[in-house]
Amino acid sequence: MKQSSRRNFIAQSALAGIGALVTLPSLAARADAENKLSAIPSSPLKTGFDQQPLPYAYNTLEPLIDTMTMDIHYNKHAATYSKNVKEAAQAEGVDTTKPLEDVLNKISKYTVKMRNNAGGHYNHEMFWKLLSADPNTQPDAKLLAAINTSFGSMDEMKKQFTTAATSRFGSGWAWLIFTADKKLAIISTPNQDNPLMDIAETKGFPVMGLDVWEHAYYLKYQNRRADYIASFWKLLNWKTVSERFNSI
């Protein structure tokens, strides 16, 4: 082999080795991310593509959430998410007889329309069930123990959740989630994203969530998001939250 050819061979071999070093960690990181996603606690609670009836009258949550807000929120905003996610599903070949969670878990493969509306529909279908005019004011023993383990106390959990909801810039959600490492955590997501999505910065099963889009509170509270969040704690039905946690 000529000396120049030998030098070229050595150089190409070195580049190939560098390429392998770059590629292998990338593949490993991707596999690790996929493993973490698949390890998110699953639940038998599944969400369909159709909007379910509101579980109470529009005026049930007065005076903390007013009738007009509930009417507009459910019949305009949430209904539009349901309509649009079904349109996106038809256009993108999604089987709507299967749970919406299947789409959320791999939302990065779909369009922005699917992401926004699948998230919006899932989030609201959960949200209505968390509210009650006559709520259970404490979680059950199992959830309370998990809260104390993860946060130290119920008061500390509420403080951190309130901070997440208050500090979410613009529109989005605050969440109490159960993560792949078997812990409760508090996060927030922008727009209609949620922690089931494969694009979420922190993934987990949503135990509860709070809508902090302005359409959820502006007619009554205007710019006073903190007052709306304080009202949420008075309406939160811990029985539903506990059921979601115990379903994992």
Contact 143, 246 (CB under 8 A): yes
The dotted CATH code for 67-246 is 3.55.40.20
206 Cβ contact partners less than 8 Å away, ≥ 6 residues apart = 126, 175, 176, 177, 194, 195, 196, 244
Judge whether 161 and 211 are in contact, CB under 8 Å: no
pLDDT interval class at 185 (50, 70, 90)? very high
Tokens read off for 67: 């009738």
Element housing 226 (H / E) = helix 225-235
- For residue 65, count CB atoms less than 10 angstroms from its CB and return exposed for 0-12, middle for 13-18, buried for 19 or more: buried
Residue 143 in 3-state DSSP?
A: helix
Q: Report domain extents, the chain.
A: 67-246
**Does residue 4 carry a pLDDT above 90?**
no
* Maximum distance among all Cα pairs of the chain, rounded to whole angstroms: 89
Going by pLDDT thresholds of 50, 70 and 90, the confidence category of residue 25 is very low
pLDDT band at 76 (very low <50, low <70, confident <90, very high): very high
Assigned token pair, 51: 């909007």
pTM equals 0.84
Weakest mean pLDDT among 27-41, 105-119, 173-187, 193-207: 27-41
Selection from 248, 205, 212, 207 nearest residue 229 by Cα: 212
Q: List pLDDT tens digits, range 122-156.
A: 999 999 999 999 998 899 999 999 999 999 999 99
**Cis? peptide before 41, omega within 30° of 0:** no
Give dist(CA 244, CA 126) in Å, integer.
Answer: 10
Q: Identify the pLDDT of residue 137.
A: 86
What's the token pair of residue 198?
Answer: 């494969």
Task: Using alpha carbons only, give the angle 222, 226, 232 rounded to the nearest 5 degrees.
Answer: 100
